[in-house]
């Protein structure tokens, strides 16, 4: 009995660590595939996988609990969240991944909880303590340092443009998260994620149509297909479902500890998968971002994600 109880007590940590590992490996895996698959073709294909899986999760949830009907007012809010989190965020994120290094993406996207806290405060949804404000300032300093590569920003540089696009993606994700907070009191996060995915998928297919030919005609390698499946099924589908379940079981504060591991895992994964070297600006900026997150989350809560992660 004691051994089964010990295994049960370790299960949440093991599951949340698995989520951190999936998300940490996601960007370098996508970056690896983008050497072969055009960015918008890859994005449309992976979102087909994620929409299919989220449909299955939402259908399974519906068997256990009949969802409330969505009236016009709710649909307007769902579409607002979907536009920010399911369309604009995805396009900014994928274009940024294509232009900058995977290491920068992993560190810059980690600033999303900082932006979430700021937007939540500005909209009056949550109050931010003095301790959290210090953490936000540290995190933003690290984000800026990484975005400018530790020096003067050069807008002619693909890397600089990619960094700024990823920061923009983090802001959009944060705004969609704050906007979704009152909505997930009425509908489940899984259903919201599914509705966001399925309503925006036609636009992603339309944008990616000129580059989808090679994917549809199976003119890409098995490795590229595996990367598309990983990004769509594991990162956006399975890991999201696991995250939401264990946040409900053990609480957001416990779960947030593991999201701090994601940029660290991403940096290590970059060196393993892509052979990228870690620069001084990444190390120093990453420490500031992680330090800011730790300070902000110590006895401070920010709205938890109600949308899928990248």
- End-to-end, the C-alpha distance of the chain in Å comes to 39
3-state secondary structure of 160: helix
Which residue has 């540290």 as its token pair? 138
Q: Is the dihedral of CA 111, 114, 118, 121 positive or negative?
A: positive
201: which 2 tokens? 């998928």
Separation between Cα atoms, residue 260 and residue 266, nearest integer Å? 11
pLDDT tens profile 158-190: 778 888 899 999 899 888 888 887 887 788 888
Whether 226 has a pLDDT exceeding 90, the answer reads yes
| Cβ atoms of residues 78 and 70 within 8 Å | yes
Whether 305 has a pLDDT exceeding 60, the answer reads no
268: which 2 tokens? 């290590």
| Cβ atoms of residues 179 and 62 within 8 Å | no
pLDDT tens profile 58-77: 888 887 776 777 788 888 99
119 backbone φψ class: left, alpha, beta (φ>0; ψ -120 to 50): alpha
Share of the chain above pLDDT 90, in %: 23
Identify the band that residue 239 occupies on the pLDDT scale cut at 50, 70 and 90.
Answer: confident
Output the pLDDT for position 248: 61
Identify the band that residue 202 occupies on the pLDDT scale cut at 50, 70 and 90.
Answer: very high
Stretch 268-279: mean pLDDT? 80
Identify the band that residue 301 occupies on the pLDDT scale cut at 50, 70 and 90.
Answer: very low
Kindly list the distances between the CA atom of residue 95 and the CA atoms of 41, 102, 181, 282, in Å, as whole numbers in the listed order: 12, 12, 27, 20
- Residue ranges of domains in the chain: 28-297
Identify the band that residue 302 occupies on the pLDDT scale cut at 50, 70 and 90.
Answer: very low
Whether 214 has a pLDDT exceeding 90, the answer reads no
Stretch 114-127: mean pLDDT? 77
Question: Which of residues 83 and 238 earns the better pLDDT score?
Answer: 83
């Amino acid at each position: 009995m004691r051994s089964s109880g010990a295994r049960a007590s370790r299960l949440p940590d093991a599951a949340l660590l698995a989520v951190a590992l999936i998300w940490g490996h996601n960007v370098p895996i996508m970056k690896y595939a983008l050497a072969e698959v055009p960015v918008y073709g890859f994005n449309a294909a992976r979102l087909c996988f994620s929409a299919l899986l989220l449909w299955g999760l939402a259908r399974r949830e519906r068997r256990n609990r009949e969802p409330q009907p969505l009236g016009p007012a709710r649909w307007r809010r769902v579409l607002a969240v979907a536009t920010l989190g399911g369309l604009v965020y995805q396009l900014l994120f994928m274009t940024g991944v294509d232009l900058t290094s995977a290491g920068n993406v992993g560190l810059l996207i980690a600033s999303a909880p900082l932006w979430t806290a700021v937007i939540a405060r500005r909209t009056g949804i949550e109050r931010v303590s003095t301790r959290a404000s210090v953490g936000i300032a540290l995190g933003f300093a690290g984000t800026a340092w990484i975005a400018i590569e530790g020096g003067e920003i050069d807008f002619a540089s693909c890397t600089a443009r990619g960094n700024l696009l990823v920061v923009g993606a983090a802001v959009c994700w944060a705004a969609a998260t704050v906007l979704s907070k009152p909505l997930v009191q009425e509908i489940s996060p899984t259903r919201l994620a599914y509705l966001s995915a399925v309503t925006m998928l036609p636009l992603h297919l339309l944008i990616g149509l000129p580059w989808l030919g090679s994917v549809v005609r199976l003119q890409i390698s098995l490795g590229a297909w595996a990367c598309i499946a990983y990004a769509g099924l594991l990162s956006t589908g399975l890991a999201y479902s696991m995250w939401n379940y264990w946040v409900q079981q053990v609480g957001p504060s416990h779960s947030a500890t593991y999201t701090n591991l994601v940029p660290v895992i991403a940096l290590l994964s970059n060196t393993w998968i892509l052979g990228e070297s870690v620069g001084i600006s990444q190390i120093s900026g990453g420490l500031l971002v992680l330090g800011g997150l730790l300070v902000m989350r110590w006895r401070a809560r920010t709205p938890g994600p109600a949308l899928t992660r990248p």
